[in-house]
């Protein structure tokens, strides 16, 4: 019965006015009230499209012709842009991208969190929206009998061979090209997802933007690397600036990139980079923001919203390797950081020592378990900072925060929808969202980071 009410069928051609963009950056239009998502279309454009998939309440269509293009449309510079699943907004001017991200945050807060009486500031952009990524992750595979390394095509695990990515640091590209050529020369077999055979799964490159240091991580299906000494010698010869060559072993049939075992094949265990006045040691598996220029902008805004005067006790509930914690420690009386990953806590302690910071303490565990223990020990947080993964905060952590009643909460978010959900819980628990600052950490993509200042309402 419902199917009869849907005004489109697969392969039907329609004319659409694109009203806005969806959360993946795809165009959103309506045909006789029925919503169609059209990748590559921009708000304000009139297009001709072909319906490719129909669901109960919405469908997908392929852009066939631009009848009236947007003034924000620009030619994407990447030659594999239409096939690659990495970027989704290269066809939108950078000013248009910044407006879209502000709008995306505003709409999510209103629709999901019913948070409407808050100021969402214009997105803070970056002067150079290309070549910003300090980490490269390239899957390797086989195509027509040869080794390929690149990115997955949209919606698939088919690898598009590539030698250059315009959002990655040039040195990252150089390393991938060199490692690929060396692997071919040495006859290294790429990993095959279907059979589970083959050695080389991924190559990860980490670049110290400010130090120039390079780490190469070879992710292998098994511990034994044929011709290992030649690999190392060739990598060092072709990439003289490399300071660290690491092997990570992942023999599981999984889409997860890293395995549990990591060992240094040559050089240092870590590389170093700076954010502001702070220096950080970065290991193969430690999380470090991929856009170091905008990370400083992000963290300075978090520091502003924390409102520190030097007398406050701060809890950083997802502290990672201590990046935000150490920024806060410069202005706070004491910072407590908690993180579930033991290696990250080791890095955080090392980074505190590296920067001569002795008023930051780091503990392994989940925030929702550790923070109540701290409260029983008499630790009272004036400010709590959270920087959760895309799934947002655990509800138990939000309840713990409400019970601890800090004066201020600073929420750093990489997902506007889970942010909106969590803000609703905090507002219902006696807090007020004061201001939201989107920061463009990921130009050319639909992702947006936000920093949110939240105050307790005194009753």
Domain boundary assignment for the chain = 2-68, 99-127+291-456, 135-275
Q: How confident is the model at residue 86 (pLDDT cuts 50, 70, 90)?
A: confident
Q: Is 194 left (phi over 0), alpha (psi -120 to 50) or beta?
A: alpha
pLDDT of residue 102: 98
pLDDT of residue 5: 84
pLDDT of residue 145: 75
Q: Is the dihedral of CA 339, 344, 345, 348 positive or negative?
A: negative
What is the CATH architecture assignment of 2-68?
Answer: Beta Barrel (2.40)
Tell me which CATH code domain 99-127+291-456 carries. 3.40.50.150
pLDDT of residue 451: 98
Q: How confident is the model at residue 148 (pLDDT cuts 50, 70, 90)?
A: very high
Give the rounded percent of residues in the chain with a pLDDT score beyond 70.
99
pLDDT at 42 over 80: yes
- Taking the C-alpha atoms of residue 16 and residue 32, their distance in angstroms, rounded to an integer, is 10
- Taking the C-alpha atoms of residue 386 and residue 338, their distance in angstroms, rounded to an integer, is 10
Q: How confident is the model at residue 4 (pLDDT cuts 50, 70, 90)?
A: low
> Which is higher by pLDDT, 406 or 142?
406
- Taking the C-alpha atoms of residue 272 and residue 291, their distance in angstroms, rounded to an integer, is 15
Q: Which residues of 6-30 are buried (b: 16+ CB within 10 A; e: fewer)?
A: bebeeeeebebbbeebeeebbbbbe
Closest C-alpha among 450, 390, 423 to residue 123: 450
> Residue range 201-223: average pLDDT?
96
pLDDT at 2 over 60: no
Q: Which CATH code of 1.10.10.10, 2.40.160.40, 2.40.50.1070, 3.20.20.70 fits the domain covering 135-275? A: 2.40.50.1070
> What integer best gives the mean pLDDT of the chain?
94
Q: Which residues of 388-398 are buried (b: 16+ CB within 10 A; e: fewer)?
A: beeebbeeebb
pLDDT at 3 over 60: no
* Helices 395-404, 416-428: crossing angle, 10 deg rounding: 40
- Taking the C-alpha atoms of residue 8 and residue 33, their distance in angstroms, rounded to an integer, is 11
> Residue range 18-43: average pLDDT?
95
pLDDT at 459 over 60: no
* Residue range 339-388, pLDDT digits in tens: 998 989 999 999 999 999 999 999 999 998 999 999 999 999 999 999 99
DSSP-derived secondary structure for 42-105: -TT-EEEEEEEEE-SSEEEEEEEEEEE--TTB-----TTTTTBSS-S-TTB-HHHHHHHHHHHH
How many other CB atoms sit within 10 Å of the CB of residue 258?
A: 18
pTM, two decimals, is 0.93
* Residue range 284-299, pLDDT digits in tens: 988 889 999 999 999 9
pLDDT at 47 over 50: yes
- Annotated catalytic residue within 84, 393, 414, 450: 414
* Residue range 183-208, pLDDT digits in tens: 999 999 999 988 999 999 999 999 99
pLDDT of residue 343: 87
> Which is higher by pLDDT, 66 or 286?
66
* Residue range 290-338, pLDDT digits in tens: 999 999 999 999 999 999 999 999 999 999 999 999 999 999 999 999 9
Q: Are the folds of 2-68 and 99-127+291-456 the same?
A: no
165 belongs to the catalytic site: no
pLDDT at 241 over 70: yes
Considering only 137-151, 257-271, 339-353, which range has the smallest mean pLDDT? Answer: 137-151
pLDDT at 63 over 50: yes
């Amino acid at each position: 019965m419902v199917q009869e009410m849907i005004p489109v069928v697969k392969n039907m051609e329609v004319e659409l006015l694109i009203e806005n963009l969806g959360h993946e950056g795809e165009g959103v239009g309506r045909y006789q009230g029925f919503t169609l998502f059209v990748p590559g279309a921009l708000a304000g454009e009139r297009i001709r499209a072909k319906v490719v998939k129909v669901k109960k309440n919405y469908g997908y269509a392929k852009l066939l012709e631009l009848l009236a293009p947007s003034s924000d449309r620009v030619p994407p510079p990447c030659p594999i842009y239409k096939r690659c699943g990495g970027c989704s907004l290269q066809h939108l001017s950078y000013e248009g991208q910044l407006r879209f991200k502000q709008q995306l945050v505003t709409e999510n807060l209103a629709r999901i969190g019913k948070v409407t009486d808050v100021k969402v500031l214009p997105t803070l952009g970056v002067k150079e929206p290309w070549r910003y990524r300090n980490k490269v992750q390239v899957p390797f595979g086989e195509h027509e009998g040869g080794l390929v390394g690149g990115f997955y095509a949209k919606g698939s695990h088919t690898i598009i061979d590539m030698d250059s990515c315009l959002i990655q640091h040039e040195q990252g590209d150089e390393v991938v090209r060199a490692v690929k050529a060396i692997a071919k020369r040495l006859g290294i077999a790429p990993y095959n997802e279907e059979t589970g055979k083959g050695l080389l799964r991924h190559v990860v490159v980490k670049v110290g933007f400010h130090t120039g240091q390079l780490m190469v991580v070879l992710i292998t299906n098994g511990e034994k690397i044929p011709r290992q000494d030649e690999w190392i010698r060739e990598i060092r010869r072709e990439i003289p600036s490399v300071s660290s060559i690491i092997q990570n072993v992942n023999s599981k049939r999984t889409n997860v990139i890293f395995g549990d075992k990591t060992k240094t094949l040559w050089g240092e265990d870590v590389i170093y980079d700076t954010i502001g006045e702070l220096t950080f040691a970065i290991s193969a598996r430690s999380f470090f923001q991929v856009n170091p220029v905008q990370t400083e902008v992000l963290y300075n805004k978090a520091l502003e919203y924390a409102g520190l005067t030097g007398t406050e006790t701060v809890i950083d509930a997802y502290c990672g390797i201590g990046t935000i914690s150490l920024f806060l420690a410069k202005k706070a009386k004491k910072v407590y950081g908690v993180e579930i990953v033991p290696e990250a806590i080791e890095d955080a302690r090392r980074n505190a020592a590296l920067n001569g910071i002795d008023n930051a303490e780091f503990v392994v565990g989940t925030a929702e378990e550790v923070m109540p223990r701290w409260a029983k020990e008499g630790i009272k947080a004036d400010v709590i900072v959270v920087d959760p993964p895309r799934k947002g905060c655990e509800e138990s952590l939000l309840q713990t925060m409400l019970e601890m009643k800090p004066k201020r909460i600073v929420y750093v978010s990489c997902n506007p929808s889970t942010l909106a959900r969590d803000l609703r819980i905090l507002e219902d628990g006696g807090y007020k969202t004061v201001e939201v600052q989107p920061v463009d950490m990921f130009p050319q993509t639909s992702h947006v980071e936000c920093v949110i200042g939240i105050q307790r309402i005194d009753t």
